[in-house]
């Protein structure tokens, strides 16, 4: 998930930019010393491969009409090694920001950390740790799966943490965190399955790219896939039920209870003691806005604010008009 400018405060944005920039500069220097020109082209193409691979989608089981795709950071880390993969994914994130405007310019630091540095290094070392250089089919399946899940979950957890540090969240932190974790469990699972599939394919077709020394084969057996799905369905189910029991849905709450208007009749009242307790808990939990201080200030600012908006719109109209006139003159003058 791309982090956005608006979820960050300036110090957090500057801090993460500095960390990401420093990290990338360090990796570039380290890799730059040993890299051959052959690897330079390979890394560039691999970045482009990530874009293309994201178009290969699979329909999700049990959810008709939806489809998932891979992210690719862990796959690249396994094939290219973590340093080269980190540079490749960083360039992908930068192009997503600069050309496709996905994720903000200030959030670039966060995005590089969440989606590039953390998944590449963490995923690579988890994979290394579990696979331990051996070529057993089950071992590699588990290793790649675990690497993808850990890498993607960690990246996802960092998003609400960074937003929390910035202090811009009004959605309760835990709700946001749980939503991100639940959503990214599914994403990580898809990533894991496809990564394992690609590794198996590579081993069959081009053992030279992805070799474990002694030849071994990864096969996707139906049982393995099913067992994995079962385990993670249970985990996701447990996570979602936690989420559901903790707080009622925001919309439901807004109908049931309006603490800001004392004389407001609840439209939907529910006699259940548990739900009422949860409502009360949430009413206490939600931060009280400091509008009493704000309101006195805003009265004085009313007209200047209005003038600001009107002035800005007039200025834009003025610029547009001038540009229009100049453009039509250009057309007459030079016939282009």
Partner 1 sequence: MHHAHIDKFAYQDSPIHRLDSRVKFIVVMVFTFLVISLPVDSFGILFCYAVWPFAILVIGRIPLKFAFKQVLIVSPFILFLALSYPFYERGLVRTEFGPWNFEISLGWVKCFTISGKFTVTVLALIALVSTTKFSNLLSGLGRLGFPKLLVMQLGFLYRYIFVLIDKAQHILMARSSRRMRSLGVKREVKVAASMAGSLLIRSIDSAEKINIAMQARGFSGTWKSVNEQKFRRGDLLFALVCGAFIMALHFIVRPFLI
User: Which positions from 62 through 101 interact with partner 1, judged by CB under 8 A?
Assistant: 70, 75, 79, 87-88, 90-92, 94-95, 97-101
User: 137-166 vs 222-246: helix axis angle to the nearest 10?
Assistant: 20
Q: Is 226 helix (H, G, I), strand (E, B) or coil?
A: helix
Question: Within positions 224 to 243, which residues make up the interface with partner 1, using CB under 8 A?
Answer: 225, 229
Contact between 332 and partner 1 per CB under 8 A: no
CB of residue 157 to partner 1, shortest distance in Å: 17
Stretch that binds partner 1, among 25-33, 142-150, 237-245, 266-274 (CB under 8 A): 25-33
Q: How far apart are CA 328 and CA 318, in angstroms?
A: 16
Q: Which of 214, 251, 268, 273 binds partner 1 (CB under 8 A)?
A: 251
165 CB burial (10 A radius; 0-12, 13-18, 19+): middle
- Segment interacting with partner 1, rule: CB under 8 A, options 53-61, 121-129, 145-153, 238-246: 53-61
- Residue length, the chain? 336
Does the footprint of partner 1 cover residue 215 (CB under 8 A)? no
Q: Rounded to the nearest whole angstrom, what is the least distance from the CB of residue 24 to partner 1 in the complex?
A: 6
Tell me: does residue 34 bind partner 1 (CB under 8 A): no
Taking contact as CB under 8 A, which single stretch among the options 38-46, 121-129, 147-155, 232-240 is the one that binds partner 1? 38-46
Query: In the complex, what is the shortest distance from the CB of residue 114 to partner 1, in angstroms, rounded to a whole number?
Result: 14
Pick from 6, 269, 272, 325 the residue near partner 1 by CB under 8 A.
6
Minimum separation from the CB atom of position 95 to partner 1 (A): 6
The answer to the question of residue 22 lying near partner 1 (CB under 8 A) is no
Give ∠ CA 323-326-332 in degrees, rounded to 5. Answer: 140
Structure tokens at 303: 């007209």
Residue closer to partner 1, measured from CB, 28 or 278: 28
Angle in degrees, CA 97, 3, 106, rounded to 5: 60
Q: Which is nearer to partner 1, 27 or 126 (CB)?
A: 27
Residue numbers 264-323 binding partner 1 by CB under 8 A: 286-289, 291, 294-295, 298-299, 301-313, 315-316, 319-320, 323
Cβ at position 142, least distance to partner 1 in Å? 17
Binding footprint of partner 1, residue count (CB under 8 A): 110
- Phi-psi domain of 166 (left: phi exceeds 0; alpha: psi -120 through 50; beta: other): alpha
Own/partner long-range contacts of 170-177 (Cβ < 8 Å, ≥24 apart)? 170/287, 172/247, 172/285, 172/286, 174/246, 175/243, 175/246, 175/247
- Nearest residue (CB) to partner 1, 78 versus 122: 78
- Cβ proximity to partner 1: between 132 and 219 the closer is 219
Q: How far is the CB of 133 from partner 1 (least distance, A)?
A: 22
CA proximity to 3, closest of 123, 120, 129, 118: 118
Least distance to partner 1 from the beta carbon of 304, Å? 5
Angle, in degrees to the nearest 10, between helices 10-34 and 137-166: 140
Q: Which residues of 84-95 are buried (b: 16+ CB within 10 A; e: fewer)?
A: bbbbbbbbbbbe
**CA torsion 28→31→35→41, rounded to 10°?**
-50
Taking Cα atoms as reference points, which of 53, 63, 1 lies closest to residue 229? 63
**Interacting positions 138-197 with partner 1 (CB under 8 A):** 170-172, 193-194, 196-197
């Amino acid at each position: 998930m791309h982090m956005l400018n608006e979820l960050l405060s300036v110090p957090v944005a500057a801090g993460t930019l500095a960390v990401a920039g420093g990290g990338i500069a360090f990796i570039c220097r380290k890799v730059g010393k040993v890299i051959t020109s052959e690897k330079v082209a390979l890394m560039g193409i691999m970045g482009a491969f990530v874009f293309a691979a994201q178009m290969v989608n699979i329909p999700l089981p049990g959810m008709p009409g939806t489809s998932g795709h891979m992210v690719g950071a862990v796959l690249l880390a396994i094939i290219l090694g973590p340093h080269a993969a980190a540079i490749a994914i960083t360039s992908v994130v930068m192009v997503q920001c600069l050309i496709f405007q996905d994720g903000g310019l200030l959030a670039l630091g966060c995005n590089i950390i969440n989606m590039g540095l953390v998944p590449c290094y963490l995923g690579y070392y988890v994979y290394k740790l579990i696979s331990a250089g051996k070529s057993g089919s089950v071992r590699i399946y588990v290793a790649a799966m675990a690497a993808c899940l850990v890498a993607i979950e960690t990246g996802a957890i960092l998003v609400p943490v960074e937003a929390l540090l910035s202090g811009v969240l009004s959605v309760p932190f835990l709700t946001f965190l749980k939503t991100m974790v639940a959503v990214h469990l599914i994403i990580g699972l898809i990533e894991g399955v496809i990564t394992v599939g690609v590794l198996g394919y590579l081993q069959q077709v081009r053992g030279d790219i992805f070799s474990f020394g002694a030849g071994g084969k990864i096969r996707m057996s139906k049982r393995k896939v099913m067992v994995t799905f079962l385990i993670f369905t249970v985990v996701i189910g447990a996570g979602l039920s936690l989420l559901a029991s903790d707080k009622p849905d925001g919309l439901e709450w807004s109908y049931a209870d309006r603490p800001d208007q004392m004389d407001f009749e609840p439209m939907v009242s529910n006699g259940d003691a548990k739900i009422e307790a949860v409502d009360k808990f949430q009413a206490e939990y939600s931060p009280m806005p400091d509008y009493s201080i704000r309101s006195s200030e805003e009265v004085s600012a009313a007209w200047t604010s209005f003038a600001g908006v009107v002035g800005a719109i007039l200025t834009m109209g003025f610029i547009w008009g001038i540009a229009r006139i100049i453009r039509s003159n250009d057309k007459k003058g030079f016939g282009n």
